Amino acid sequence: MRPVGQEGRRTARFLLKTCITRLYESLSTLLGITQTVEVLGLLAIEIGEMAMAAFKVLATNHTSFTVSDLDRTVGFFVDGLGFELISRAPRDVAIVSRITGVAGADIDVAYVQGPGHRLELIQYRAPDQRGRVRSLPCDTGFAHIAFDVDDIDAAIAASKPHGVVPIGAPVAIDKGPNKGGRVAYLRDPDDVTIEFIETPPQ
């Protein structure tokens, strides 16, 4: 299917407006204004549901983090957490620039596979003008990734040699689906937040 340009959108809007106007006029004659408004409202709902049903989300593909040292971060996930490195390679600058909107985006990308989820880790070699994000959990846009573990103390101990350290001691969870377990936030050297959740005893 060819992309629809501005002219195509204007034509579609005109046709839709014309159809709705003629439908309104016809229904008004048959049903009266009040019932016509109700019918058009139901029709709008049906059209909206049909549009939503035009596609479906199949699965979660990956979660991505931009990092400053790909070797270090891959080492944490592979050697510290036992993930599998499944791919590592540079990408075409022109293609990445188009995807990200970052001019001259020169990157290396690694994929690591954990239990039930895949992470994409990206290190930018260019452009030179790039910043660093350090947000607090209370900041809008803050994000983190959480992993279930069977021993939170052991997970924290395995993370420390990779520079991934806890913000505080593990805390007991008193509400929600993880009630009865323990939780801790950790920060890596790039200020990416990792959450460990010790699953409650069965």
| 3-state DSSP assignment of residue 117 | strand
Query: CATH number of the domain at 132-202, please?
Result: 3.10.180.10
Long-range contacts of 112-115 (CB under 8 A, 24+ apart): 112/74, 112/77, 112/78, 112/83, 112/84, 112/85, 112/86, 113/83, 113/84, 113/86, 114/77, 114/81, 114/82, 114/83, 114/84, 114/147
Do the bridges between strand 117-126 and strand 63-67 make them parallel or antiparallel, or are there none, so unpaired? parallel
DSSP 177: T
Residue spans of the domains in the chain: they are 6-52, 59-131, 132-202
Q: Quick one: pLDDT band at residue 44, thresholds 50, 70, 90?
A: confident
Q: Quick one: pLDDT band at residue 48, thresholds 50, 70, 90?
A: low
- What is the per-residue pLDDT for 160? 97
Tell me if 184 sits within 8 A of 170, measured CB to CB: yes
- What is the per-residue pLDDT for 53? 61
Task: Check if 59-131 and 132-202 are the same fold.
Answer: yes
pLDDT at 1 over 60: no
Question: Domain 59-131 is in which class?
Answer: alpha beta
**Residue from 38, 40, 41 nearest 19 by CA:** 40
The continuous run of DSSP H or E covering 66 comes out as strand 63-67
pLDDT at 121 over 70: yes
For range 10-39, the mean pLDDT: 75
